[in-house]
Structure 1
Amino acid sequence: MLTVGDKFPSFDLKAVIGLDPKTAFTRVTEGSDEGKWKIVFFWPMDFTFVCPTEIAAFGKLNGEFNDRDAVVYGVSTDSEFVHLAWRQNHDDLKSIPFPMLADIKKDLTVACGVLQKEAGVALRATFIVDPQGIIRFASVNDLDVGRNPQEVLRVLDALQTDELCPCNWQKGDDVLKAA
């Protein structure tokens, strides 16, 4: 698995950004949203149970991420057509404000080292990538356990201070000063 300090891989994927099949599809690459922080999170499969809770939670925080000059990309190995059908049929996903990337060839999933080999799906992985394309945070949860998007936001806040941040640090708290 890629980790902190590694360069995030190049990618060029189809993505779903809406509900209308005429305008729902776009392409997203590593060069999209250049100069911004990127929150890239992977989920195992569409039409499952834990995944929509996480996607909806990231969606609710999307404005907070945008306020921090960050964009959110959600990724699974399902096709863009499956993403669209899921969004159209799941109330919690109809209005998510970030693209759902379709890694059907599993190139990005494999390049990041987050393919769960037995099931052939992405692990529940999260990366925070800085504007230079360097991974600054990497986390993976078991397939059955959802992650905490609020914690991802907290870590982004800490990374953006470029300071020493103690355990449980929150935006606005004092940072540590080296003696």
Structure 2
Amino acid sequence: MSLVNTPIKPFTAQAFKNGKFIEVSDTDLKGKWSVFFFYPADFTFVCPTELGDVADNYAEFQKLGVEIYSVSTDTHFTHKAWHDSSETIGKIQYTMIGDPTLTISRNFEVLREAQGLADRGTFIVDPDGIIQAVEITAEGIGRDASNLLSKVKAAQYVAAHPGEVCPAKWKEGEATLSPSLDLVGKI
């Protein structure tokens, strides 16, 4: 079953952000756009390249009013240790959620139960807490923050312009479509 157009499930977790441990819950997300960026584990190989790419683009997400939440089944203590020891991870200013209870990974249906690790899952969540986009990739396939930015912009555009949709390869400022009987078979 797809999680698209479903509300996120309740959670509370410890996280690391800007040198501090904080508590994060589903109620903190209300009223703003969010991206949940699941990855298998700290101190690994593809994961730091992805998290570093998101860190490099974090200011662009912030301009769009989007908060980033990276999530792995590691603890918030492990996130801090990784942040302190890796130049790439040290750039991160967004929230790094620890999910050692596996609750959040189960809620988003990305948990690999046998390993206790999350798959690479990306979820765009609207201000009402509804999942608008989902991307799941195999462990060896890294994600690209510029593609994620494009998807966020499209999701925000569609939410702000009922009756319009964004076609393939849509970029901000380009033409959209207004689905109607007149368009059937003409695209």
Contact 1:128–1:138 (CA under 8 A) maintained in structure 2: yes
SS in 1 for 2:67: strand
Show the counterpart of 1:15.
Answer: 15
- The gaps in structure 2 that reach 5 residues or longer are 159-163, 183-187
CA contact (8 A) 2:29 2:129 kept: no
- Name the SS of the counterpart of 2:107 in structure 1: helix
Instruction: Measure how far apart 1:88 and its partner are.
Output: 0.5
- Asked whether the equivalents of residues 13 and 101 of structure 1 are also in contact (C-alpha less than 8 Å), the reply is yes
| 1:40-89, Cα deviation, whole Å (9 max, x unpaired) | 11000000010001111111111111111110000000011111111100
- Aligned mates of 2:172, 2:58 — CA distance in 1: 17
Deviating above 2 A after TM superposition, structure 1's stretches of 4 or more consecutive aligned residues are none
The residue type equivalent to 1:53 in the other structure is T
Measured in 2, the distance between the counterparts of 1:30 and 1:94 equals 26
1:107 correspondence with 2:103: yes
Give the direction of change, closer, same or farther, for the CA distance of 1:134–1:90 in structure 2 (3 Å limit): same
Change (3 A) 1:2 1:108: farther
CA distance in 1, matches of 2:45, 2:72: 14
Out of 1-10 and 153-162, give the one that drifted further: 1-10
Q: Deviations over 1:143-162 (max 9, x none)?
A: 11111221111011111112
- Mapped to 1, the partners of 2:177 and 2:2 lie a distance apart of 28
RMSD of aligned C-alpha atoms?
A: 1.3
**CA distance, structure 2, for counterparts of residue 147 and residue 3 of structure 1:** 19
Q: Percent identity?
A: 34
SS, match of residue 151 in structure 1: helix
Moved more, 95-104 or 10-19: 10-19
Q: How many equivalent residue pairs?
A: 175
Instruction: Give the TM-score normalised by structure 1.
Output: 0.93
Task: Note the C-alpha offset of 1:2.
Answer: 5.0
Q: Which residue of 2 aligns with 1:168?
A: 169
The structural deviation recorded for 1:33 is 4.4
Query: Contact 1:2 / 1:112 at 8 angstroms: preserved in 2?
Result: no
- 1:74 matched to 2:75: no
- 1:81-120 to 2 correspondences below 5 Å: 81-120=77-116
- Cross-structure match for 1:134: 130
- For residue 117 of structure 1, report the CA deviation from its aligned partner: 2.6
| Contact 2:110 2:121 survives alignment (8 Å) | yes
What TM-score do the two structures reach when normalised by structure 2?
A: 0.89
